[in-house]
Amino acid sequence: MSAPVVGLIMGSDSDWPVMGAAGGVLDDFAVPYEVGVVSAHRTPQRMLDYATQAADRGIRVIIAGAGGAAHLPGMVASATVLPVIGVPVPLARLDGLDSLLSIVQMPAGIPVATVSIGGAANAGLLAVRILASGSGEEAERLAVALATYSAALQDTVIGKHD
């Protein structure tokens, strides 16, 4: 078992039905990852510890999902220099617009790559792309796998109405 290179975290276990799609993509690309519940509001010290220690543990990309007052991705991004991908999790009220705005409106200097509301699969793919943009055998393997994935994606639309 390889050490995890992606940290997949969320504000609550209730986010998993959405965030699981990111894990599914990472599984598909055989990218080792860890999963954890880290809440900006309920476990602030745990969140800071996670963010400040992740790089030293070998994590290269963090995917952080939260709903409502979704401060987790931004707060984590403020305490690490790792790339952070934010996933706005839709809750019963406001359909995730609150989550989206909480995550996307970051002040200059603290970037969070925000995907669409509920867009955890794209968060997983973006993490794979970030890892593929590096150097070395693993990056090359992922680049080839992404090219294969993209080619297969074309087949899902081409010829459907020809």
State yes or no: residue 8 binds ligand RP5 (CB under 6 A): no
Asked if residue 42 belongs to a known ligand binding site, the reply is yes
State yes or no: residue 101 binds ligand RP5 (CB under 6 A): no
Q: What is the β-pairing status of strands 113-114 and 6-10?
A: unpaired
Asked if residue 162 belongs to a known ligand binding site, the reply is no
Q: Toward ligand RP5, which CB reaches closer, 12 or 114?
A: 12
State yes or no: residue 68 binds ligand RP5 (CB under 6 A): yes
- Tokens 């969320």 label which residue? 10
State yes or no: residue 66 binds ligand RP5 (CB under 6 A): yes
Helix (H) or strand (E) holding 114: strand 113-114
- How many whole angstroms separate alpha carbon 53 and alpha carbon 43? 15
**DSSP string of 4-33?**
P-EEEEES-GGGHHHHHHHHHHHHHTT--E
Asked if residue 57 belongs to a known ligand binding site, the reply is no
Q: Toward ligand RP5, which CB reaches closer, 97 or 144?
A: 97
Residues 19, 62, 133, CA angle at the centre, nearest 5°?
110
State yes or no: residue 76 binds ligand RP5 (CB under 6 A): no
DSSP state of 139: H
Number of residues that bind ligand RP5 (CB under 6 A): 11
Stretch that binds ligand RP5, among 1-9, 60-68, 135-143, 151-159 (CB under 6 A): 60-68
Instruction: Tell how many helices (H) and how many strands (E) occur in the chain.
Output: 6, 5
Give me the phi and psi of 9, to 5 degrees please: -125, 160
Q: Toward ligand RP5, which CB reaches closer, 90 or 124?
A: 90
Binding-site entries: 12, 15, 42
**Interface with ligand RP5 by CB under 6 A: which residues?**
10-12, 14-15, 39, 66-68, 89, 91
